[in-house]
Amino acid sequence: MFPALSRKVYGKALVYFDNAATVQRPQSVISRWRDITEKSNANIHRAVHLMAEEATEAYEEARECVRGFINAGSKEEIVFTSGATASVNLVAFSFGEAYVREGDEVIVSEAEHHSDIVPWQMMCQRRGAVLKVLPVDDTGHLMVDKLDNLISPKTRIVAVAHISNVLGLVNPVKDIVEKCHSKGVPVLVDGAQGIVHRAVDVRDMDCDFYVFSGHKIFAATGTGVLYGKKKWLDRMPPYMGGGEMVGHVRFSGTTYAPLPLKFEAGTQNFAGVATLKPALETAMMMRGEGSGAAGSCLALRRELVENEAAVRDYLLDKLLNNNRIYLFGVPSVPEEKIPLFSFSVEGAHHEDLALILDKMGIAVRSGQMCAEPLMDRFGVTGMLRASLLAYNTLEEAEYFIASLDRAIKMLV
């Protein structure tokens, strides 16, 4: 089902534990991309010929799939971008233009990915606003109580991850949204990791913006989603100008297309976007959701969910009970943690460990993981991260632990 997972590296079976960076594509996604490219390669929303109609239909069908997947109220609220980073940049720019003035404040958490920090910093510089930080505690939990004091009458927006790409803990985003809304402050949720591991209902969460990348949820690279409440998107100016996003263009002035096209300037990645449909079907299966027609399919779904929990609990136990290992992001209850483990090993550099594990066939991430402020918070120059998905097995996790032990022995 996932062609890349059956490849060999250095003559060994690949153990792919870098899923938080990107996941492997299922055959259905690869086929979808190839189908569109081979048969329906035409620019969308413009021409009247058959190929253009097919491409447009595939693109808009993906929009409806995304809408349903996150239970948004309307397709107008689903904007396609090139990824979560582009989505945050869009909001930071356009929301900033419309709502942020000199002396205003923006709050982000200490555990954010650079992509949910830098766009806000840039916007604050442009608008003369101030960036404030919601801290995390030693176990990696957001100190949500501190929000009450951080939010002031000048706070314009709060940006926070659904699940941190380093800590792997599910943040209480619904509570955060409620807290912020009680003071009239909108919230952007960075769902790059969250969308993969938790069912998301944006209306229930009541967030104002939710962003994610396609490539982390099985779709083609270069695809991303911005969900935004219509009331905000309507009043935000376009981020980029050009084809597709216009109503009428005169040298005396231009009017803009209605939502969501207002934010989709230029030829879109339509072949990539079309893969979101099979991708989201895969994601639902991995999470044990959706209505599987066949009984065997239901059994497979249940099996995947049970497997993921079992693998998570196994690794949590092994890593927490090794006194050489320091795990960042320790859950209060296992359910709060996704199978993502960032840790450091006493006496062994993360880069050395990753290099040795690579030669053992195991792909993990090492370094700052695009979260330098969080590295500083924990006083480390980097970490080692193993991030799994439901397609990873307990055997792979056992091999990883044995290999990690061997690598540590080589180094210390």
Partner 1 sequence: MEDTEKTLQEAEEEVVDEFSMFDEWLDKYEYLIELGKSLKDYPEADKTEDRLIQGCQSRVWLDYKVQNGRIWFNADSDAIITKGIISLLIKIYSGRTPEEIASSDFSVVDRIGLKENLSPTRANGLVSMIARIREIASENR
Min separation Cβ 316 and partner 1, Å = 27
Rounded CA separation 41/271 (Å): 8
* Closer residue to partner 1, CB minimum distance, 143 or 355: 355
260 upstream amide cis, omega within 30 of 0: yes
Determine whether 180 is an active site residue.
Answer: no
* Closer residue to partner 1, CB minimum distance, 299 or 410: 410
**Residues from 312 through 371 that contact partner 1 (CB under 8 A):** 348-349, 351-352, 355-356, 358-360, 367
Min separation Cβ 119 and partner 1, Å = 24
Rounded CA separation 333/223 (Å): 33
Min separation Cβ 292 and partner 1, Å = 40
Scanning the structure block, which residue is given the tokens 């409806």? Answer: 64
Out of 8, 10, 49, 250, the residue judged to bind partner 1 by CB under 8 A: 10
* Closer residue to partner 1, CB minimum distance, 368 or 392: 368
**Residues from 393 through 412 that contact partner 1 (CB under 8 A):** 410-411
Distance (Å) of CA 196 to CA 82, 87, 253, 282, 318: 17, 17, 42, 10, 24
Q: Interface mask (CB under 8 A) for partner 1, residues 14-53, using x and -?
A: ----------------------------------------
Beta bridge partners, 60, equal none
**Residues from 367 through 386 that contact partner 1 (CB under 8 A):** 367, 381
* Closer residue to partner 1, CB minimum distance, 35 or 358: 358
Beta bridge partners, 253, equal 250
Min separation Cβ 117 and partner 1, Å = 21
Active-site position among 65, 180, 207, 370: 370
E-state strands within 200-252 = 209-213, 224-228, 246-250
Residue 1 in the binding site for partner 1 (CB under 8 A): no
Min separation Cβ 384 and partner 1, Å = 12
DSSP SS3 for 131: strand
Cβ atoms 162, 191 nearer than 8 A? yes
Length of the chain: 412
Distance (Å) of CA 411 to CA 178, 190, 350, 380, 408: 48, 37, 11, 18, 5
Residues that bind partner 1 (CB under 8 A): 10, 348-349, 351-352, 355-356, 358-360, 367, 381, 410-411
Question: Which amino acids are annotated catalytic?
Answer: 370
